[in-house]
Amino acid sequence: MEPERHEYKGHRIELRPREGREEVRAREAESTEDLELRDLELLIDEQPVRFGQLPDGQYALEEYAFDWTDDLTELARRYIDHRDRAEEIRRGEAESGKEN
């Protein structure tokens, strides 16, 4: 799999080879096979996001484990939406606390 970069609602989602994995994999096989997803790291806004793969092949993020899918980029988008909603709720609670 080639490294991927996507923009979503002002956030950058990247899937890229883990540090050192690309070189090790190149030495192990001279074929031009794509990197497996486990050899990639997921970054959102340049921050690493830990993920794992369930027995059925779907992916889950460590900080967002109650939602999973077989498309890691889609899962990153859902996580961004989740974080944005949580931030809106926190801002709303902080603003309502100021009014009292």
Give the tens place of pLDDT for each residue, 55-88: 999 999 999 988 999 999 999 999 999 999 999 9
* Residue that is written with structure tokens 């031009």 in the block: 32
State how far the Cα of 40 lies from the Cα of 10, in Å rounded to an integer. Answer: 22
**Residue 74 is inside which H or E element, if any?**
helix 72-99
Above 80 in pLDDT, residue 90? yes
Predicted local confidence at residue 72, as pLDDT: 94
When pLDDT is cut at 50, 70 and 90, the band that residue 100 belongs to is low
Query: Rounded to an integer, what distance in angstroms lies between the CA atom of residue 11 and that of residue 87?
Result: 15
Tens of pLDDT, residue by residue over 17-41, are 987 644 545 544 444 344 566 688 9
For residue 14, the domain's CATH number is 3.30.1880.10
Q: In whole angstroms, how far apart are CA 41 and each of 14, 49, 64, 72?
A: 8, 8, 16, 11
Q: 37 is in which domain, residue-wise?
A: 4-99
The tally of domains found in the chain comes to 1
Instruction: Tell me the average pLDDT of the chain.
Output: 83
